[in-house]
Amino acid sequence: MIDITEESPGRSILTTFVDLVFPPSLSRRALLILVAAIAVLAAVWTFESFGYVPCELCLTERYAFYFGAPLAALTAYAASRSAHGMARVAFALLALIFIANVALAVYHVGVEPERVNDSETPGLVI
């Protein structure tokens, strides 16, 4: 674990920050992805609790997080058990899942202005 309270010889604060954000170990990287996926899901569920009704594309975009969170947990487990080859394959699969989700999000941004102005479509009203 990185201790940012004491200055290590030859380490700058920027290096320490980079190690916190981008951990050098595979298992920590996978845990960071897991925490981020859970945080995103918690945020969208919170919006729903406030009355926001997501459209079909919003719900479809969540699949990446539903599949990515458990896969990140399995990746962290594999990396911690020295199964680095399997962990790298799982990281590649995570990357493909989230890259596909980015493509869907770009499409969603392109069609959303038409949906927002449609009075029959539930969702964000401007």
Instruction: Quick: pLDDT tens for 52-67.
Output: 888 888 899 999 999 9
The model's pTM: 0.70
Residue 92 has pLDDT above 60, yes or no: yes
Residue 88 has pLDDT above 60, yes or no: yes
| Per-residue pLDDT at 1 | 46
- Contact status, residue 27 vs residue 76, Cβ threshold 8 Å: yes
Phi, psi dihedrals of residue 116, rounded to the nearest 5°? -65, -40
Better-scored residue on pLDDT, 126 or 65: 65
Better-scored residue on pLDDT, 112 or 76: 76
| Per-residue pLDDT at 18 | 63
| Per-residue pLDDT at 29 | 87
Residue 95 has pLDDT above 90, yes or no: yes
Pick the closest to residue 77 from 68, 86, 89 (CA basis). 86
CA distance 112 to 97: 22
| Per-residue pLDDT at 124 | 46
- Contact status, residue 72 vs residue 33, Cβ threshold 8 Å: yes
| Per-residue pLDDT at 28 | 86
Pick the closest to residue 44 from 30, 63, 31 (CA basis). 63
| Per-residue pLDDT at 17 | 63
CA distances from 85 to 53, 93, 97 (A): 41, 13, 19
